[in-house]
Structure 1
């Protein structure tokens, strides 16, 4: 394989990046969010509605849903930002000790400096040791780790490694659908084009090799596919890939000479013991030669999607089977260099968590376990509530902040949506919002199999809130089927 660092009919949401225009039209979800805000203002003004409040149940943002980032990380960051807190009794001793160690590595003893040496040396070493623990001893080279401010810009940097804007045909990047909009946007920013490939809903949103190869054959008429993006755990689908499926994907990448981009940012939200998260790096390593030493892989981790919270913007990506000299380019032109230092401080602390018997150890363990426990409980609520609802189907959810149920929409509703210039799932979510005050994400926000209609349903609200949402959804859908039959 010589992709990087060597000499040798599915709908996808429109990319939010349009290089030829300064203005990007709002997405359907953005329009629904604006309408939800307007409804809240109408309720505040005393306008009569069939409901008393808007319930936002669309987001994958755990902090926005009421969960706070890990306290230990915030305490360490607070002390580093304001070292006078080293003497504060409200900060536990282990957080102060960890902050003191970090302050010794910061230029001027402050996160206010660029601190590139701290990021490139201290943080990468911490990350490499964390990855070795996570992957059961698979070695990790700190030189192949690039800390970043979240993964959005990092994906652009990774795609830029293979994108050739001077070529006769644009570079293609295969992206999953359903999936986050990020990857299509990143491809456009890097000067490449997104090539959507369908996930297999009937097989629990697995990556089907035959479908990917069909997409590849068709795409090669108009572009040069060079990279395959896989999201595991999946969002909004809530799936976790099996080891067998991951091995098939790795073989496909080798056979088709594709750089494998593994978006693994939701790894800490896999909650089913029978389907644990496995990194692509670990599976590739355990497959042995020749694949383990030839398949080129870049994997992404985000503190923002794990214990940190999205507002802190921190993460890293790791390169495997790619010449370490390629790393120099990231510190020359990359969008992800010079990440915010407080975010890197939190990443540093997350990679080296409290030790057993330290004051913060129990609370830190409970933070992650509590989130996974609540997600698992809410996933069961979804299956119980929707399992018997006529016209609604939902694949079992194994991870992550969302479920992605499929809803039946009758032909008359489809015609009405077309007459209004709306995607059918957007029309359904619009009507649901107006009738019940419940805001869900339309499936077209993420892409969905042709001829199907889905909604993105958050698993992050409290159980009692989710129960009310599910009751409202099933009752409204039954009435919707009657009204448009």
Structure 2
């Protein structure tokens, strides 16, 4: 294509991802380090990606062993492998044409795997019936979502179709809707109530959308992405009744259903709640739910497999789902087989049961403990707050950025939180997710707060105590903000703000600056920091370009196995 004008206007109109630019910058920085460039860090640490195996989490032995035998059938005779591994591999190979994972499968997936998924859903939902014909396997749950939303798009010249979408939402969902030609209709989750789905807000969003689009569906993620919130049964019932009254298709993204760890929380699927409601609802409300091999305890992102289940959808409509699925031929066969292993794991008495159970429990315990540690630490930071996550693998803290960052971002034409993340990467070699990629930039700006996305599913052995020379009392005082300001007036002014790296200390003593007793200490990355006098005030020189943009420490050190960071952000100095 010789001209940008020849590119499909719909493609040109797709919103970009600030995270793609950060990943590109990270790759360039990594290359520079490998070529000998001098940085204040020796590696780039990704705290955002949500790729458990990429972060160092171990795979589930049973899954990899069965796949190994399927890929190399000669291993069926290898008695060093557990018997149930060899029997399962043989059974799965028999379901493949020619007994080989190299053969094509039906576009909607292997019937054997679809049947296993249907049986899993029936068990999960206390007997609510599920049928293989309603299960569609795809190369990841997002691919299945794409098929659905493409079918909802309006024809040329018609009123655009819309999808009610939470703010914040998964980062790729807005781009997916753009690609399909659908209008994103945002509804705000209530952060102060644990990112709750509010019925009044759904009605407000729906009314605001009328006239500019025709809402046809409502999307929800449970557990929430990236917020980690959980909907209880009452909330799900309210949404179902709302969808029924407004004739909306329910799109339930439930990919983190096996990663629930919040106290008193349990996963209840939209389908189960629907089937336990009045018959006029359970027989009529259109529901499509999604699950994935990539998310949660399996974390097999690279195998590319997920599925959707369609409930109460017209048979004529589903014919076109089959048609669209044919364009992708089929999901990778190894991914399909791994789905079978995910929904039908070893049972008590099987040779692999104990090892499988131990590995799954370890993954869940790691996730829960990391989430708790990070949550406690984030809420101890000046200017930052974080709602507790009940499930999923992310935390979504909010923070108040200094005016200087906001003004610079406006001058550059970028979102302030995206600039924050860029500076953090350049100065500290740490990648975090910008909240603006989750569709909440406008509301966040109105509330004068921004958000970050942090992944907490990382290996337990990546957690190392930070190398600090501070005494415990000094450290506690700094983290609690006791050494940032001492007068009541300035405590009020600084409440809710990120503490400055170089706090002012006027000569009249009206405001006290940082007063660290220990004259020098190590940052954990080999650099030393010294207290010095500057223009009549005491300050801490971290030998960094200003501003240094994030405060991490022992609660977050699990994201940096060889390095931890503990710096406050520069404010208006």
TM-score with structure 1 length normalisation? Answer: 0.89
Q: CA RMSD in A?
A: 2.6
**Alignment partner, residue 302 of structure 2:** 311
Q: How does 1:62-81 map to 2 (within 5 A)?
A: 62-81=52-71
**Matched-pair contact (CA < 8 Å) for 1:298–1:318:** yes
Q: 2:453 aligns with which of 451, 456, 474?
A: 456
**Alignment partner, residue 384 of structure 1:** 376
Question: Deviation digits for residues 60-97 of structure 1, max 9, x if unmatched?
Answer: 11111112332212222222222111112343211110
Is the aligned partner of 1:320 residue 2:317? no
**Matched-pair contact (CA < 8 Å) for 1:432–1:476:** no
Which range is displaced more, 375-384 or 223-232?
375-384
**Matched-pair contact (CA < 8 Å) for 1:54–1:438:** yes
Q: 2:223 aligns with which of 222, 233, 246?
A: 233
Question: Deviation digits for residues 12-34 of structure 1, max 9, x if unmatched?
Answer: xxxxx975446978522122222
Is the aligned partner of 1:362 residue 2:451? no
Shift in Å, 1:197: 1.8
**Alignment partner, residue 213 of structure 2:** 223
Shift in Å, 1:447: 2.2
Separation in 1, partners of 2:119, 2:82:
25
Separation in 1, partners of 2:183, 2:69:
44
**Alignment partner, residue 127 of structure 2:** 137
* Matched position secondary structure for 2:204: helix
**Matched-pair contact (CA < 8 Å) for 1:105–1:118:** no
**Alignment partner, residue 232 of structure 2:** 242
Which range is displaced more, 398-407 or 348-357?
348-357
Separation in 1, partners of 2:20, 2:173:
18
Unaligned stretches of 5+ residues in structure 1:
1-16
* Matched position secondary structure for 1:471: coil
Is the aligned partner of 1:174 residue 2:164? yes
Shift in Å, 1:169: 0.6
**Matched-pair contact (CA < 8 Å) for 1:144–1:324:** no
**Alignment partner, residue 470 of structure 1:** 552
The structure with the largest helix share of the pair is 1
Q: How does 1:76-475 map to 2 (within 5 A)?
A: 76-116=66-106, 119=109, 121-166=111-156, 168-306=158-296, 307=298, 309-334=300-325, 335=327, 338-448=330-440, 449-451=443-445, 452-462=449-459, 465=463, 470-471=552-553
Which range is displaced more, 330-339 or 367-376?
330-339
Is the aligned partner of 1:30 residue 2:20? yes
**Matched-pair contact (CA < 8 Å) for 1:184–1:194:** yes
Question: Deviation digits for residues 207-232 of structure 1, max 9, x if unmatched?
Answer: 11211211111111111110001011
**Alignment partner, residue 568 of structure 2:** 479
Separation in 2, partners of 1:294, 1:433:
50
Relative to 1, partners in 2 of residues 1:273 and 1:337: Cα closer, same or farther, differing over 3 Å? Answer: farther
**Matched-pair contact (CA < 8 Å) for 2:553–2:566:** no
Separation in 2, partners of 1:226, 1:82:
47
**Matched-pair contact (CA < 8 Å) for 1:173–1:227:** yes
Relative to 1, partners in 2 of residues 1:119 and 1:399: Cα closer, same or farther, differing over 3 Å? Answer: same
Relative to 1, partners in 2 of residues 1:90 and 1:445: Cα closer, same or farther, differing over 3 Å? Answer: farther
Separation in 2, partners of 1:49, 1:349:
44
**Matched-pair contact (CA < 8 Å) for 2:223–2:254:** yes
Separation in 2, partners of 1:172, 1:24:
15
Shift in Å, 1:435: 2.9
**Matched-pair contact (CA < 8 Å) for 2:293–2:305:** yes
Question: Deviation digits for residues 284-311 of structure 1, max 9, x if unmatched?
Answer: 1122322212211000011121415111
Question: Deviation digits for residues 268-298 of structure 1, max 9, x if unmatched?
Answer: 1112251111110011112232221221100
* Matched position secondary structure for 1:233: coil
Shift in Å, 1:240: 1.5
Shift in Å, 1:193: 2.1
**Matched-pair contact (CA < 8 Å) for 2:15–2:174:** no
Question: Deviation digits for residues 421-440 of structure 1, max 9, x if unmatched?
Answer: 22110121122223322221
**Matched-pair contact (CA < 8 Å) for 2:552–2:565:** no
**Matched-pair contact (CA < 8 Å) for 1:68–1:309:** no
* Matched position secondary structure for 2:258: helix
Separation in 1, partners of 2:108, 2:352:
24
Relative to 1, partners in 2 of residues 1:161 and 1:43: Cα closer, same or farther, differing over 3 Å? Answer: closer
**Matched-pair contact (CA < 8 Å) for 2:108–2:322:** no
* Matched position secondary structure for 2:322: helix
* Matched position secondary structure for 2:377: helix
Relative to 1, partners in 2 of residues 1:478 and 1:80: Cα closer, same or farther, differing over 3 Å? Answer: closer
Separation in 2, partners of 1:337, 1:247:
37
Shift in Å, 1:412: 2.7
Higher alpha-carbon Rg: 2
Separation in 2, partners of 1:107, 1:38:
44
Separation in 1, partners of 2:123, 2:174:
32
Separation in 1, partners of 2:340, 2:457:
26
